Amino acid sequence: MRKFVRSLGNATNGIKHLLRERNFRIQLVIGAVILSLGALIQVDKNDYYWLLFCTFMVLLLEGINTLIEKLADILRPYYDERVRVLKDTAASVVLLGSAVSVLIGLSIILQTIFGSHFAVGLLFGIIILVVFFSLGLFGGGRE
């Protein structure tokens, strides 16, 4: 039992480290806002489970991304093109998970608020994602 309690302490320390990461904090706040909004507008229980799943999926992916980046920095503290590709790929996994979450979240929230077909939320989500992906393609990712 002592080992289990120690493991819980280590996991709690890991969460403290994640909370120091800017992107994790941003995603945590966005997730809290979405979950609060879902509760406020009283989305269907199953839809709320989807919002909860999407929120924690993004947080888990960001945690894995942080892990990969920290590990890469330890193994290669100097610039290495292979490490850059590794970090960019890990970040893209978070981006893709976030994109799916935006589509699902908008579908649920717009359907609940306006009674619209779920595809309306998907369409708005796709438009938003195209804008953000375009920003990344044409201006982001350069140092």
Give the residue numbers of the binding site for ATP. Answer: 21, 69, 87-88
* Active site residues per annotation: 62
Residue 105 contacts residue 51 (beta carbons within 8 Å): yes
Query: 3-state DSSP call for residue 132?
Result: helix
The one-letter amino acid at 97: G
Could you give the angle at which helices 22-40 and 2-19 cross, rounded to 10 degrees?
100
Instruction: Write out the binding residues for substrate.
Output: 62
How far, CA to CA in Å, does 76 sit from each of 62, 80, 107? 21, 7, 42
Q: How many other C-beta atoms can be found within 10 angstroms of the C-beta atom of residue 140?
A: 10
What is the separation of C-alpha 17 from the centre of its chain, rounded to a whole number of angstroms? 17
Q: Which residues does the annotation place in the binding site?
A: 21, 62, 69, 87-88
